[in-house]
Every structure is written in C-alpha cells, then in structure tokens.
C-alpha cells in the first residue's frame, strides 16, 4: 500500500480574512443604510419585531449577524452566533463561493441560483434580505462593479446616491 497516504485538510487564511472583513463592513453598512435609505428601512419594517438574520460561510464561518432591536432599529450584532436567537440563517456553502460573491464576480441572486447558498428560515424574509444586500452593494461599490454584483442597477438621482453613500460609508467605517 505504498500508494496510500492520509492528508489533513488545509486552510485558506487570507481568503477567510478577506470574507470576514467584507462581512463586518457589509453588516455595519446595512445598519447605516437602514437609517439612511427609505427602501431599506421599509424592507426591515416589513419584518417581524426583533427579527435577526445571519449571513455566514460554511463550515466554520466567518459570519455576520444583523437584527432589529426592541425599538425597531437595525443593528449589526457582530459575528458570534452563540446565545443569539436567529430567525434567518443564510449560509454560503463554502469559502470559494463566498469569495465569488464578495469579489462581486457573482451577485447574491446569481449565487442563490447557482446553489451556493443555504437558507434556513422564511423565504419571504430571505428575499427581503437579498434585496437589502443589493441596495447596500449599490451604495458601497462604484457603478462599474456594482452592476456586476446586483440583479438590476437602480435608477437613482446622482445627488441622492452620493448623499446616502457618504452617510452609509460614515456609518460603516466610523460608526456615525
């Protein structure tokens, strides 16, 4: 049996770190967008009080958690799922799938269509979160890249987009 060997699965620390950073940033951007953008706010208003969702990578993360508090405000709740009641879990099946999503080679909708995501929870809520992610990506990314990342690029006025973009970046980066 000279042709036999056992190997340990390796790791991809740089890709993991990149996805963790993106999830942290997008999580904070969702919190900011829910204050700034009327459509995002309306999407969250349509979800149940205390609604919390997670978006993470299988099998070991990273993960981001976002939820509504008692006052209905949307908050980024970090990465640790321990002790949190999560209504909707969206999990990318593997790190490479997450890289395709977070390097904007595939939109969230396309990744879902290509069977890269597992959704554990209500489908209407998942659809609302996918719409929120699309809007947030439009704010965070230059148009050239955002067009790759979203299903349809929205027809917003330039002034409104720039104003909201500045406020969302300030919220995501500085926590303002």
What residues line the site for other proteins (CB under 8 A)? Answer: 1-12, 16, 58-60, 93-97, 100, 114-116, 118
In the complex, the smallest distance separating the C-beta of residue 9 from other proteins, rounded to whole angstroms, is: 4
Residue 93 vs 161, nearer CB to other proteins: 93
- Least CB distance to other proteins at residue 14 (A): 11
Question: CB of 110: closest distance to other proteins in angstroms?
Answer: 11
Please identify, using beta-carbon distances, which residue of 2 and 157 lies nearer to other proteins: 2
Residue 56 near residue 78 (C-beta atoms within 8 A): no
At closest approach, how far in Å is the CB of 15 from other proteins?
9
Tokens found for residue 56: 């993470």
Looking at the Cβ atoms of 13 and 159, the one nearer to other proteins is: 13
User: Rounded to an integer, what distance in angstroms lies between the CA atom of residue 35 and that of residue 107?
Assistant: 24
Min CB(56)–other proteins separation in Å: 12
Q: How far apart are CA 55 and CA 117, in angstroms?
A: 10
Structure tokens belonging to residue 35: 């204050």
Element (H, E) at 118: strand 117-120
Q: Which two tokens stand for residue 24?
A: 């942290």
| Comparison of 8 and 71: residue with beta carbon closer to other proteins | 8
Smaller CB separation from other proteins, 90 or 135: 90
- Measured torsion, CA atoms of residues 80, 39, 105, 141, in degrees rounded to the nearest 10: -90
Contact by Cβ (8 Å): 51, 125: yes
């Amino acid at each position: 049996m000279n042709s036999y060997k056992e190997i340990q699965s390796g790791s991809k620390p740089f890709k993991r770190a990149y996805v963790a950073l993106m999830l942290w940033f997008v999580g904070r951007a969702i919190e900011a967008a829910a204050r700034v953008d009327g459509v995002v706010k309306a999407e969250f208003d349509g979800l149940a009080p205390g609604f919390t969702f997670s978006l993470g990578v299988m099998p070991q993360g990273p993960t981001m958690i976002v939820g509504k508090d008692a006052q209905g405000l949307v908050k980024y709740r970090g990465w640790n799922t321990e002790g949190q009641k999560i209504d909707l879990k969206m999990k990318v099946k593997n790190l490479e799938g997450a890289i395709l999503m977070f390097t904007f080679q595939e939109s969230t909708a396309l990744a879902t269509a290509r069977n890269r995501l597992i959704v554990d929870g209500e489908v209407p809520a998942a659809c609302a979160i996918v719409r929120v992610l699309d809007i947030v990506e439009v704010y965070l990314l230059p148009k050239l890249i955002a067009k790759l990342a979203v299903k349809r690029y929205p027809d917003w006025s330039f002034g409104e987009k720039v104003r909201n973009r500045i406020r969302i970046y300030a919220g995501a980066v500085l926590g303002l």
